[in-house]
Amino acid sequence: MIIGSEKFDWSKFTTTLPCVPVGRSRRENSRFRGEAEALAIRLRALRSDKGMTQEQLAGRAQVAVSTLRKIESGRVVEPGYFTILALANAMGVDPHELADPKDRPE
């Protein structure tokens, strides 16, 4: 990539520290893998109970259908906070209904 008349040096923007991971952790290594699988099951069940297709829910939540599919299949282990809020709002449920029952507030 050329900016101005100089070549852009990407090496200045990457870390060389061994303790800083680059990007997100891999799905199989994530400490949230179990929660992601539980979220996938609850999200799919709630959507089905509401009689909505993936396309309908994604449209109402203004989320890409591919993103919803990845969350429902457990391929996204750390979905974005606002994505989950949008999905819950689009289904008309409290976001805590998507949470693990043991983590729900009383």
Residues of the domain holding 70: 30-101
- Give the number of domains in the chain: 1
Amino acid at 34: G
Residue 10 located in a structural domain: no
Structure confidence at residue 29 (pLDDT):
72
Residue 91 located in a structural domain: yes
Residue 41 located in a structural domain: yes
pLDDT band at 8 (very low <50, low <70, confident <90, very high): low
Residue 42 located in a structural domain: yes
**Digit-coded pLDDT (tens) for 71-104:** 999 888 888 899 999 999 999 999 888 876 655 5
Q: Indicate the SS3 state at residue 26.
A: coil
CATH at residue 42: 1.10.260.40
Amino acid at 48: S
CB 75 within 8 A of CB 26: no
